[in-house]
Amino acid sequence: MRGERGNPGHTALDMLGSAGKITSSAFLHDGTTRFQKVNPMAGQDHKHEHHDHEHGSELSETQLRVRALETVLTEKGYIDSETIDQLIEAYETQIGPHNGARVIARAWVDPGFKKDLLQDASKAVAKLGYVSRVGDHLIAVENTPRVHNMIVCTLCSCYPWEVLGLPPVWYKSAPYRSRAVKDPRGVLADFETSLPADTEIRVWDSTAEARYIVVPMRPEGTEGWSEEQLAQLVSRDSMIGTRLADRPEKTQ
Ligand code: FE
């Protein structure tokens, strides 16, 4: 496959390139890429050299793009690869929905904490050690028998990373983003979640400033359970609002 393509993935690298000395020369949909030093004024007509690469890379197109971007940013001194490694390790090993599950379990057993959480979730989760690096505001919305909450980012993929980790692929997908608003019950049905007909469904649209976490209803039959036991019932999806908290028999 050859020829010119209008690939929006160029933009960031090309902008960096026009400001300095390195730019991407080609991003092809077959997943090949290469760098070259260029004259900053060159390439503005978007004529890129395209080469066939017999020595295929095992990396996906996205991985190649990420790697390319990281290389450029590192060379320009905007980022430090050690810091990036630490961040990736944190998201792989420490940050994930188990943090959110702890928050929910605490809210279920501690009315004072639940009140704080619903009042100012950023502040409440910070007390448990979960702090957003993005500087956004976390808002907790509580499910009740009358109201069920569901979270979406219609624009892109805003998500409360500090408590849920990285968003699942479906959360970022166009069908979820549009259908969550137009047909929330249909989306819930896809997740095998059915609610009474008179339960109101509220859909919250996340932004860069405001991100949401759902406080699911505590399942019946969990009286006397410890926070650790209760946290086992809180799935990631239940904190996005596409599922309910698991029933106790599921973990026993
Ligand atoms: Fe977003």
Dihedral in degrees, nearest 10, Cα atoms 6, 10, 12, 16: -120
Distance (angstroms) between ligand 1 centre and the Cα of 139 equals 15
Query: What is the reported pLDDT for 252?
Result: 60
Distance (angstroms) between ligand 1 centre and the Cα of 119 equals 23
Domains identified in the chain and CATH numbers: 10-79 (no CATH), 96-250 (3.90.330.10)
| pTM higher than 0.95 | no
Distance (angstroms) between ligand 1 centre and the Cα of 153 equals 5
Q: How many CB atoms lie within 10 A of CB 185?
A: 15
- What distances in angstroms separate CA 221 from CA 43, 78, 194, 224, 225, one per listed residue? 66, 53, 20, 9, 9
> What does the alpha-carbon distance between residue 252 and residue 248 come to, in Å, rounded to a whole number?
7
Dump pLDDT digits (tens) for 154-195. Answer: 999 999 999 999 999 999 999 999 999 999 999 999 999 999
Dump pLDDT digits (tens) for 42-97. Answer: 444 444 444 444 456 688 898 899 889 989 999 999 988 888 888 888 888 888 99
What residues act catalytically?
Answer: 153, 156-158
Checking phi first, is residue 194 left (phi over 0); if not, alpha (psi -120 to 50) or beta? beta
- Which stretch of 13-22, 103-112, 201-210 has the lowest confidence by average pLDDT? 13-22
Distance (angstroms) between ligand 1 centre and the Cα of 138 equals 14
Query: What is the reported pLDDT for 30?
Result: 31
Round the CA-based radius of gyration of the chain to a whole number and report it: 23
